[in-house]
Amino acid sequence: MDLGLRDRVYVLTGASRGLGFATAQALVRDGAKVVVSGRTAGTVEAAVAALGEDRAAGITGDLGDPGTGPRLMTVARERFGRLDGALVSVGGPPRGTATGTGEDAWLAAFHTIFLGTVRLARLVAETIGTVPDGADAAIGLVLSTSVRVPLDGLAISNGLRPGLAGFAKDLANELGPRGIRVVSLLPGRILTDRNLALLDSPAAQAEAAAAIPLRRLGDPAEFGRVAAFALSPAASYLTGVAVPVDGGVTSAF
């Protein structure tokens, strides 16, 4: 299937590894060009090298820094001459319970995960502007199944992710007349470094897999293919939705 990605340009945050990197791989494989960001220079450089320097560029930056977004926009325009969308991912917040998580942790996560995401999504929409009739642009937010079902020991995620899903739907309604789509992606138990740390033994992984209808943990590439499709012109009538990528744990309804 031709996703219509050839020579389209996407910005991806938190994409030097994990779900963002898997999405960058899927986009590049189908002909897109990408600008990826991450917080560590070494992992960003390795990601760009793996993706191919003719198809990828990278910057080191934290989404909580208001200067990161403008730098991403500048690289996309100067290196590749256009912008067709973005995947906004900031990774997972620290573990903690609702009463056991300190206010400083909540504020730090709010500034990075919530405000950082909102800031960049708005900037991407402003940079893209209004697309011509028949064209397509898209913004994807990487959230979590905690949007649908709270996760034990992840109070910050349970508090912030549903709010971002609401923001994404509101943004989709606002940007739809401009030809810009907005989707939320809700990954479940996928074998990223973070989930490997949370499920730190074969027994823990087996227990988690037993609760998934497909009876296995996901591979990052499986998420990446879904995200690449959602961002692509092939999904041109898909907007305002939250798509679980979790092996059937949560409902799409």
Q: Is residue 253 part of a domain?
A: no
Q: Is residue 122 part of a domain?
A: yes
pLDDT interval class at 252 (50, 70, 90): low
The alpha carbon of residue 53 and the mean position of all alpha carbons in its chain are separated, in whole angstroms, by 22
Model confidence over 88-142: pLDDT tens digits?
A: 998 778 889 999 999 999 999 999 999 999 999 999 999 999 998 878 999 999 9
Total number of domains constituting the chain:
1
Identify the pLDDT of residue 70.
97
Q: For the chain, what is the mean pLDDT?
A: 93
Q: Is residue 4 part of a domain?
A: no
**Where in the sequence is the domain holding 154, given as residue range(s)?**
9-245
In the numeric block, which tokens belong to residue 245? Answer: 């990528």
* Percentage of the residues of the chain whose pLDDT score is greater than 70: 99
Q: Is residue 251 part of a domain?
A: no
In the numeric block, which tokens belong to residue 199? Answer: 């499920």
CA nearest to 180, candidates 226, 239, 115, 116: 239
Task: Tell me how far apart the alpha carbons of residues 108 and 85 are, in angstroms, rounded to a whole number.
Answer: 27
- Asked if residues 140 and 85 have their Cβ atoms less than 8 Å apart, the reply is yes
DSSP 171-201: HHHHHGGGTEEEEEEEE-SB-SHHHHHHS-S
Identify the CATH number of the domain in which residue 119 sits.
3.40.50.720
- Residue with the larger pLDDT of the pair 173 and 206: 173
- Asked if residues 140 and 183 have their Cβ atoms less than 8 Å apart, the reply is yes
Identify the pLDDT of residue 163.
95
